[in-house]
Amino acid sequence: MPIRLGAVSYLNTRPLVHGLERETDRFDLRFDVPAKCAELLHANEVDVGLIPSIEYPGHDYRIVPGVSIASDGPVASVAIFSKVPTDRIRSIALDTSSRTSVALLRVLCARWFAIAPQLKQMPPDFDRMLSACDAALVIGDNALFADHEALGLEKVDLGEEWIGMTGLPFVYAFWAGRRDAVGPDDVLALQQARDRGLAATDTIGHDLYPDNPERAARAGLYLRENVKYALGEPEIAGLRQFYQLAAEVGAVASADTPRFY
C-alpha cells in the first residue's frame, strides 16, 4: 500500500512535494491546512504528515531527517501588521490557521517585545482584524503579498525577530510520522523531492500564479531567499530552543526532544 502523505496547500510547501504526485506506487498525497494535517496524523488517517512544529511535542513521532520549512532571517510570510509601534501593542488578532505562528508570537511577546497583549482569534481578514485590535498576526500569501506601507501599517517579521532574539533559525514545519511509517528509501524520496523543488522555484511560482507575472516572480524569490528547507544542526538547535521557550510560556505542556527516522 502507498504511504499516506498529508501535506499543506501553501506556497512554501510546494518545493517539498514537487513531483511526489507522480510517485503513486510509493505515496498517496493529499493537501490540507496545517492544523488539519496534524489532526489527520494524530488520528492515524495519514502515515506521515507535514505538520507544524508545535504539533510534535507530546507524540511518539519520528521526523524525516534533513527536511523542514524554516527561516534564517526574514521569512516574509509570518508577521504581525500593526497600527502602532510594537511596544504600544495592547491587542493582537490571530490568524489561527497555524498554531506554530501563534506559539512563536506568544514567545516573542513574552521574551523579546516585553508586552502582554490580549490575543483574539479571528478569520484572516485585515479590515476586520485591525478594526478590532491594534495589530494582526497574518501568515501565508496574505502576509507575503500585503503592501503594508500602502495600508499604513508596520510589518514585524516574526522570523527576523526570532533570529534577533536567539541567533538561531526557526523551524515552522517538517515531515513526521510514527516510528515504523517509512523506511530509508522513502526518506530518500522525500529528500529528493525537496531537491527537485528547490531547482524549480520559478516554475512553481508561475504554475501557481500564471496570470500574474509580478506575483509569480515574487513567489519564486520568496522560495529561494526567505524559506529554507534544511534541517541540520542549527535548525535542530533552534527547534529545541523553541520548544523550551514555548513550554515556559504555556504554549505546550512540556519541551520535547526531536527524534528522527
- Cβ(99)–Cβ(35) below 8 Å: yes
In this predicted structure, the answer to whether residue 8 has a pLDDT above a threshold of 90 is no
Q: How confident is the model at residue 224 (pLDDT cuts 50, 70, 90)?
A: very high
Are residue 64 and residue 105 in the same domain, yes or no? Answer: no
pLDDT score of 102:
95
In this predicted structure, the answer to whether residue 79 has a pLDDT above a threshold of 80 is yes
In this predicted structure, the answer to whether residue 178 has a pLDDT above a threshold of 90 is yes
**pLDDT digit string (tens) for 117-165?**
999 999 888 899 999 999 999 998 899 999 999 999 999 999 999 999 9
Among residues 172, 145, 141, 173, the alpha carbon closest in space to that of 158 is found at 172
In this predicted structure, the answer to whether residue 186 has a pLDDT above a threshold of 80 is yes
Q: Are strands 170-178 and 69-71 parallel, antiparallel or unpaired?
A: antiparallel
Are residue 244 and residue 178 in the same domain, yes or no? Answer: yes
Range of the domain at 42: 3-70+169-248
Task: Tell the residue number behind the cell numbers 506575483, with chain if given.
Answer: 215
Find the radius of gyration of the CA atoms of the chain. 18
Which CATH number goes with the domain that contains 49?
A: 3.40.190.10
**pLDDT digit string (tens) for 85-116?**
999 999 999 987 778 999 999 999 999 999 99
Are residue 213 and residue 180 in the same domain, yes or no? Answer: yes
pLDDT score of 62:
98
More confident residue, 7 or 33: 7
Are residue 53 and residue 176 in the same domain, yes or no? Answer: yes
Question: pTM for the full model?
Answer: 0.95
The verdict on residue 86 lying in a domain is: yes
Are residue 84 and residue 145 in the same domain, yes or no? Answer: yes
Q: 18-49: buried (b, 16+ CB within 10 Å) or exposed (e) per residue?
A: bebeebeebbbbebbebbbbbbbbeeeebbbb
Phi, psi (deg, nearest 5) at residue 173: -160, 160
The verdict on residue 253 lying in a domain is: no
Are residue 148 and residue 85 in the same domain, yes or no? Answer: yes
Overall domain count for the chain: 2
Averaged pLDDT, 245-253: 96
Are residue 185 and residue 228 in the same domain, yes or no? Answer: yes
Residues in CB range of 172: below 8 A, 6 or more apart: 52, 53, 68, 69, 70, 71, 75, 78, 98, 100, 101
Of 144, 166, 188, which residue is a domain's last? 166
Are residue 156 and residue 174 in the same domain, yes or no? Answer: no
- Cβ(16)–Cβ(40) below 8 Å: no
